[in-house]
Amino acid sequence: MNKADVLIIGAGPTGLFCAHQLGLIGLNCEIVDNLDKAGGQCIELYPDKPIYDIPAVPECTGEELTSNLLKQIKPFNVKFHLNERVEELKKVDNRWNVKTSGNQEFDVASIVIAGGVGSFEPRKFPLKECEKFENNSLFYSIKDKSIFKDKNISIFGGGDSALDWAIELSKTSKVNLIHRRDGFSGAEASVQKVKELSEQGKINLFTKCQIDGVKGQNKVEAVKIKHDEGEIKEFKTDYVLGFFGLIMQLGPILDWGLNIDKKTIEVNTENFETNIKGIFAIGDICSYPGKLKLILSGFHEGALAARGCFKYAKPDEKLRFEFTTTSKAAQERLGVKK
Using CB under 6 A, list all residues that contact ligand FAD. Answer: 9-15, 32-35, 40-42, 45-46, 51, 53, 85-86, 114-120, 251, 253, 283-284, 293-296, 298
Provide, rounded to whole angstroms, the least separation between the CB of residue 295 and ligand FAD. 4
Closer to ligand FAD by Cβ: residue 41 or 287: 41
CB of 178 closer than 8 Å to CB of 184: no
Provide, rounded to whole angstroms, the least separation between the CB of residue 125 and ligand FAD. 22
Provide, rounded to whole angstroms, the least separation between the CB of residue 270 and ligand FAD. 19
From CA 85, how far away is CA 184, in angstroms rounded? 32
Other CB atoms within 10 Å distance of the CB of residue 316 = 5
Provide, rounded to whole angstroms, the least separation between the CB of residue 299 and ligand FAD. 10
Closer to ligand FAD by Cβ: residue 53 or 234: 53
CB of 271 closer than 8 Å to CB of 280: yes
Measured in degrees and rounded to the nearest 5, phi and psi for residue 159 equal: -95, -170
From CA 223, how far away is CA 239, in angstroms rounded? 9
CB within 8 Å of 17: residues ≥ 6 apart: 69, 72, 298, 299, 302, 303
Provide, rounded to whole angstroms, the least separation between the CB of residue 334 and ligand FAD. 22
CB of 106 closer than 8 Å to CB of 294: no
How far, in whole angstroms, is CA 35 from its chain's centroid?
Answer: 3
Identify the three-state secondary structure at position 122. Answer: strand
Provide, rounded to whole angstroms, the least separation between the CB of residue 51 and ligand FAD. 4
Closer to ligand FAD by Cβ: residue 127 or 254: 254
Q: In what order do the strands lie in the sheet with 152-156?
A: 138-139, 239-242, 152-156, 174-179, 203-207
Provide, rounded to whole angstroms, the least separation between the CB of residue 50 and ligand FAD. 8
Provide, rounded to whole angstroms, the least separation between the CB of residue 47 and ligand FAD. 10
Closer to ligand FAD by Cβ: residue 35 or 330: 35
Encoded amino acid at 231, one letter: E
Closer to ligand FAD by Cβ: residue 255 or 317: 255
Residue number with the smallest Cβ distance to ligand FAD: 116
Closer to ligand FAD by Cβ: residue 102 or 329: 102
Closer to ligand FAD by Cβ: residue 41 or 198: 41
Q: Is beta strand 119-122 parallel, antiparallel or unpaired with respect to 246-249?
A: antiparallel
CB within 8 Å of 130: residues ≥ 6 apart: 124, 138, 211, 214, 240, 242
**Residue 36 DSSP one-character state:** S
Closer to ligand FAD by Cβ: residue 54 or 222: 54
From CA 233, how far away is CA 204, in angstroms rounded? 13
